[in-house]
Amino acid sequence: MPLVPASSIVDAAREARVGAAAFNVIHLETAEALVTAAERTGTPLILQISENCIRYHGSLLPITRATLALAEDSTAHIAVHLDHITDADLVHQGIAAGVGSVMVDASALPYAENVTTTAELTSWCHARGVYVEAELGKVGGKDGVHAPGVRTDPDEALAFVRATGVDALAVAVGSSHAMHERTAVLDKDLIAALRAALPVPLVLHGSSGVPDDELRRAIAAGMTKINISTHLVSVFTHSIREILTANPALVDSRKYVKPAREAVAEEAARLLGVVTTPAAEPELYAAQASVRG
């Protein structure tokens, strides 16, 4: 099936008041597992390739071309997206390779520089029909350091969207990258305020640390794109660790990677159900949006 644009997945989810699942690719095995999950559930999925992933593989093209090939050969509706890209050259390379959306991450810069950098790359991307996500209010957790309570201000976020022209915005509402326990509690009132203030979809980074019910409440409050990476990486690693512990003489990597790939497919399929099932409390979403709007 031809690739679908991330914009179509995100916009349809926002309209339906459900989540749009965006799961990160680490290597070919996880990409295969994620595509399998989308096919089993019949659920659209955004496959994300981060700058860290690109660095791990040594360059953009091998993992990106492999992921694009899997997406194009799949029976599911799959988009391929570049995630947390700080290097403009990687944006240019990814789009030339066929990627249709990108997260321009200038969030570590001072606000004015974030605006300038993001606006310039967004203009370049839009001229080529590419959908752009950005981040405001730095989501912590890189390299295991959790966020120190940073929150995105709705008024500043609106000014940022207007100044940059981005199509979606990752906001800081209490999640953190690289969490290994699903214990995060999100600021649902802030999510509702951001949803009411902004004309673009909201993106939740660091969703691996957010439990299922909290994800559902966040989506009900107005979050749309849900990014998950670390949790699925943990599933893959836990499976391999268990197999090698039970079979220390095992040397054929296929015999432990294959069941790990299946474990990721199963958990990704389960999470697709969590993220894309309509909220059980839509009145909460409506009430919060009307109060904040």
**Confidence band of 71 (pLDDT split at 50, 70, 90):** very high
The closest alpha carbon to 63, from 50, 72, 75, 73, belongs to 50
**Average pLDDT of the residues in 135-148:** 50
Q: How far apart are CA 119 and CA 177, in angstroms?
A: 25
Decide if pLDDT at 234 tops 90. Answer: yes
Average the pLDDT over each of 64-78, 148-162, 179-193 and give the range with the smallest value: 179-193
**Confidence band of 242 (pLDDT split at 50, 70, 90):** very high
Q: Please report where in the chains the tokens 């997945």 appear, as a residue.
A: 9
* pLDDT tens, position by position, 2-30: 899 999 999 999 999 999 999 999 999 99
* pLDDT tens, position by position, 167-188: 999 998 875 554 555 556 688 9
Q: Please report where in the chains the tokens 């290597």 appear, as a residue.
A: 27
Helix residue ranges per DSSP H, 134-200 = 154-164, 188-197
- E strands in the chain: 20-24, 45-50, 78-85, 101-104, 131-136, 168-171, 202-204, 225-228
**Average pLDDT of the residues in 204-215:** 83
Give residue 209's Cα distance to chain centre.
Answer: 13
- Per the residue annotation, which of 83, 105, 167, 187 is the catalytic one? 83
> Is residue 83 flagged as an active site residue?
yes
Look up residue 190 and give its two tokens.
């802030």
Neighbours of 132 (CB within 10 A): 25
Q: In this structure, are residues 65 and 97 in contact, taking their beta carbons and an 8 Å threshold?
A: yes
**Confidence band of 134 (pLDDT split at 50, 70, 90):** very high
Q: Which amino acid is at 105?
A: D
**Average pLDDT of the residues in 44-58:** 97
DSSP 224-254: -EEEE-HHHHHHHHHHHHHHHHH-TT---TH
**Average pLDDT of the residues in 185-205:** 92
Q: In this structure, are residues 225 and 204 in contact, taking their beta carbons and an 8 Å threshold?
A: yes
Q: How far apart are CA 291 and CA 293, in angstroms?
A: 6
Decide if pLDDT at 291 tops 50. Answer: no
- Identify which has the larger pLDDT, 206 or 274: 274
Average the pLDDT over each of 105-109, 179-183, 204-208 and give the range with the smallest value: 179-183
- Identify which has the larger pLDDT, 66 or 290: 66
Query: The dihedral of CA 264, 270, 276, 279: what is its sign?
Result: negative
**Confidence band of 107 (pLDDT split at 50, 70, 90):** confident
Q: What's the predicted TM-score (pTM) here? A: 0.90
- Secondary structure class of 45 (helix, strand, coil): strand
Average the pLDDT over each of 1-10, 42-51, 53-62, 72-81 and give the range with the smallest value: 1-10
Decide if pLDDT at 288 tops 60. Answer: no
Q: How far apart are CA 111 and CA 13, in angstroms?
A: 29
State what percent of residues in the chain have pLDDT above 70.
86
Which domains are assigned to the chain?
A: 6-292 (3.20.20.70)
